Amino acid sequence: MATGAERDVVQLRQDLDALTLSVHRSRTDTETVLSQLERKSREQHGESQKQLVALSSRTEALGGEVAGLSTRLEELSQRVEQLGRQIRAGSSSPAGGVPRTAQSPTPAPGTASQPAQVYQAAYIDFSKGNYSLAVAGFREFLRRFPDSDLADNAQYWIGEAYFGLARSSATQGQPDKAGPALEQAAQEFRKVIVNYPRGDKAPTALYKEALVLLELKQQSLARARLQYLLDHFPQSEEAPLAKERLSALKEAGAR
């Protein structure tokens, strides 16, 4: 007959076996749950990544659309200003005559090379991101209509086109192309000041040249261009921007 102590030992062993079995089952259940959670986490992460990529693509597309609309709005504003000047000057034009536009003398009948048409074709290429075609178009415009009221605008947009080429090359991971395009953009913006110092685009070109020079790490020259803008075009819309940029550069240099 088993003693009381022996019965206790048997009971303890049975309890231990039951506890061990319970722990084993719990561990198995836990591992199963963890495996399921890990799989769901991977699935959710993959889905999140897909959504992130889709959102990123959409954001880039919207950014391009906004840039195109902003450029178009700027061009339309300029044309409105030009029309306003033409209307104010129209009082001296013959009754019923056509106000002077950005065109050269009236071309011969059947000629499809009117300044406005050539300019607009180049600008459409620019607005679509066809920067190389835009450069060629605006250069052709300047070659054929150097005395047009839009000549300074055409020269300015050549600079913007090269700036666009630089940004596109940088986005595509082609720094060997981005650098030369930036340098060319700075030169083209400079031509606006040299060739059309009293044109409407002069202060804008000065400011954009300074921004390009900053990207080229030519801070001393950029500061000089910003100061030139403030000295010669203090009432321009770009003057406050130039002043703010100069202050930021001075603060950065003092650190």
What was the pLDDT predicted at 114?
86
Q: How many CA atoms lie within 13 A of 107 on its CB side?
A: 14
State the residue for tokens 């231990």.
16
Contact criterion met (CB below 8 Å) for 158 and 139: yes
pLDDT score, position 252: 78
Give pLDDT, residue 144. Answer: 95
Q: What is the pLDDT along the chain (255 residues), one digit of tens a residue?
A: 555 555 555 565 566 565 555 555 555 565 665 666 667 766 666 665 666 555 544 544 454 454 445 555 555 555 545 554 444 444 333 333 333 333 333 344 444 458 899 999 999 999 999 999 999 999 999 999 999 999 999 999 999 999 999 999 999 999 899 999 999 999 999 999 999 999 999 999 999 999 999 999 999 999 999 999 999 999 999 999 999 999 999 887 766
Would you state the pLDDT for residue 251?
83
CA 107 – CA 105 distance, rounded (Å):
6
Place of tokens 């300019």: 119
Question: Residue 204: what pLDDT?
Answer: 96
Cα–Cα distance, 158 to 123 (Å, whole number):
10
Helices in 1-114 by DSSP H: which ranges? 4-89
CA distance 242 to 176: 29
Quick one: 228 exposed, middle or buried, by C-beta within 10 A (0-12, 13-18, 19+)? middle
Under DSSP, the state recorded for 97 is P
Burial track 133-172 (b if 16+ CB lie within 10 A, e otherwise): bbbebbbbbbeebeebbbbbbbbbbbbbbbbbbbbebbee
What is the rounded CA–CA span in Å between residue 236 and residue 214? 21
Q: Where are the alpha helices (DSSP H) in 172-217?
A: 175-195, 202-215
